[in-house]
């Protein structure tokens, strides 16, 4: 029996999981959620069954970490002395790409999740529905609505 | 009924992580894993005059040194199966090993002070490795002499096997074991590497 070294799991799925985290969380939380996801995955990895779908397993962990972070935020809102700037990494002005990221993060939660888990992580709608606590059909509708909204914004940005 | 997927190709313009940021995240993951005691095997590679060596360590010590000829990917897969699949590229744990090997190749170090994890060698092979450590810098011994020292004078071939499967070449100096007729004999890193190490030690 051959077992993949965990480094290969990170190399293969790390970028996808980070895109998912950045889609379902704010930028500051996304990187931490990515670390928490892979740390939890590393801890459980020796017990993972060989035939498991590793990407679905990682996305499921990331989904739970994202929920934890949303809950923690809801419990303890951080008092802000000033209105925060729009999230733009490292003071670089927002690129069209980051406007699209912002648009993903502005979607209603179910659409945001459906777009992230189906379009970025390539999970089937049945799995997406399980993660979001909805039916397969509802997950499909959420994803379609989300994509339609994003396409509008993308086309507007392109026309500018 | 088949439902057609809406065209979402524009999502490709959602850029992935900036490479530098991503490297930082991976380094942070390895550091956190080490702190939490779940980094079972840390590895890195170093450039040396005998090729790029793979170094791997458990929490107990250096567990594997591998030549390119062994295939670094294959060695890491074997470690994942034999020791633990919790394997990450994590250079900090190998800092001391890398430094001591650099010094060895620069001829400023004659013996290694590293913690070794010999869990990959059992029984007679392990006994042989423990005797190999006793062979001093710049000295050679024959397979037969090592067999005698290991308590099994007839086990000359088994000594050869133990050397060929030494999990820690260079650090455990199987390169100092040569044939009884004075010829150089086989080596896990190839005879050229063995010659290079013996020449290096002879010149110091």
Q: Which tens digits make up the pLDDT trace of B69-124?
A: 999 999 999 999 999 999 999 999 999 999 999 999 999 999 999 999 999 999 99
Mean pLDDT of A16-43: 94
Structural domain includes residue B99 = yes
Closest by CA position to B79, among listed A136, A87, A2, A110: A2
Strand ranges in chain B using DSSP code E only, listed in sequence order: 41-48, 51-57, 62-66, 87-89, 141-142, 177-178
Residues of chain A in contact with residue B79, where contact means CB-CB under 8 angstroms, are 5
The C-alpha torsion from A95 through A99 and A101 to A105, rounded to 10°, is: 150
Structural domain includes residue B4 = no
**Residue B87 domain boundaries:** 18-105
Same domain for B99 and B170, yes or no, is no
Q: Do B22 and A151 touch (CB under 8 A)?
A: no
- CATH number of domain containing B181: 1.10.10.10
Structural tokens at position A70: 């949303």
Q: Which tens digits make up the pLDDT trace of B132-172?
A: 999 999 999 999 999 999 999 999 999 999 999 999 999 99
Separation of alpha carbons B154 and B160, rounded Å = 12
pLDDT at B160: 95
Radius of gyration of chain B (CA): 21
Name the percent of chain A in helix, strand, coil, to the closest 5: 75, 0, 25
Q: Which of B174, B177, B178, B193 is catalytic?
A: B174
ipTM of this complex prediction, to 2 decimal places: 0.92
pLDDT at B2: 52
Q: Do B86 and A7 touch (CB under 8 A)?
A: no
Please determine, for residue A56, whether its predicted confidence score (pLDDT) is greater than 90: yes
Task: Yes or no: say if B132 and B177 are a contact pair by the CB < 8 Å rule.
Answer: yes
Minimal C-alpha gap between B82 and chain A (Å): 9
Q: What pTM does this model have?
A: 0.89
Task: Yes or no: say if B172 and B133 are a contact pair by the CB < 8 Å rule.
Answer: yes
Residues of chain A in contact with residue B13, where contact means CB-CB under 8 angstroms, are 96-97, 100, 154
Q: Do A6 and B26 touch (CB under 8 A)?
A: no
Structural domain includes residue B113 = no
Domains, chain A, in order of start with CATH, read 1-81 (1.10.1740.10), 95-160 (1.10.10.10)
Structural domain includes residue B9 = no
Instruction: Render B148-174 in DSSP notation, one character per residue.
Output: HHTT-TT-HHHHHHHHHT-SSTTTS-G
Separation of alpha carbons A6 and B76, rounded Å = 10
Q: Name the least confident of A76-80, A115-119, A127-131, A140-144.
A: A76-80
pLDDT at A8: 97
| Helix-then-strand count for chain B, H and E | 7, 6
Structural domain includes residue B117 = no
pLDDT at A84: 47
Q: Which tens digits make up the pLDDT trace of B13-27?
A: 787 778 888 999 999
Q: How many domains is chain B partitioned into structurally?
A: 2
Task: Yes or no: say if B131 and B155 are a contact pair by the CB < 8 Å rule.
Answer: no
Same domain for B94 and B127, yes or no, is no
Same domain for B66 and B131, yes or no, is no
Residue listed under structure tokens 């090729």: B51
Structural domain includes residue B116 = no
Separation of alpha carbons B98 and B109, rounded Å = 12
Residues 6+ apart with CB under 8 A from A96: A157, A158, B13
């Amino acid at each position: 029996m051959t077992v993949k070294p965990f480094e290969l799991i990170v190399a293969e799925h790390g970028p996808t999981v980070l895109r998912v985290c950045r889609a379902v969380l704010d930028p500051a939380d996304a990187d931490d959620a990515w670390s928490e996801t892979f740390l939890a995955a590393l801890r459980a990895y020796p017990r993972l069954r060989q035939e498991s779908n590793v990407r679905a397993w990682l996305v499921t962990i990331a989904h739970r970490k994202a929920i934890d972070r949303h809950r923690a935020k809801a419990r303890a809102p951080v008092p802000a002395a000033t209105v925060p700037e729009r999230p733009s990494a490292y003071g670089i002005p927002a690129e069209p790409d980051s406007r699209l990221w912002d648009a993903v993060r502005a979607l209603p939660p179910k659409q945001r999740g459906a777009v992230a888990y189906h379009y970025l992580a390539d999970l089937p709608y049945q799995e997406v529905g399980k993660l979001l606590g909805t039916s397969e059909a509802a997950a499909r509708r959420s994803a379609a609505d989300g994509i339609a909204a994003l396409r509008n914004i993308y086309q507007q940005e392109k026309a500018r | 009924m088949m439902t057609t997927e809406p065209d979402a190709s524009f999502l490709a313009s959602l850029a992935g992580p900036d490479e530098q940021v991503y490297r930082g995240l991976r380094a942070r993951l390895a550091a956190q894993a080490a702190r939490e005691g779940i980094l079972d095997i840390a590895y890195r590679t170093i450039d040396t005059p005998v090729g790029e060596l793979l170094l791997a360590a458990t929490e107990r010590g250096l567990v594997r040194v591998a030549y390119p000829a062994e295939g670094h990917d294959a060695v890491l897969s074997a470690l994942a199966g034999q020791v633990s699949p919790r394997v990450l590229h994590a250079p900090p744990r190998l800092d001391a090993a890398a430094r001591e090997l650099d010094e060895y190749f620069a001829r400023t170090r004659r013996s290694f002070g590293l913690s070794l994890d010999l869990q990959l060698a059992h029984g007679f092979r392990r006994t042989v490795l423990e005797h190999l450590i006793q062979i001093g810098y710049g000295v050679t011994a024959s397979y037969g002499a090592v067999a005698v020292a290991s308590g099994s004078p007839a086990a000359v071939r088994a000594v050869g096997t133990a050397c060929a499967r030494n999990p820690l070449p260079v650090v455990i100096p199987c390169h100092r074991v040569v044939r009884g007729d004075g010829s150089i004999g086989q080596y896990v890193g190839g005879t050229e590497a063995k010659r290079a190490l013996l020449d290096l030690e002879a010149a110091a």
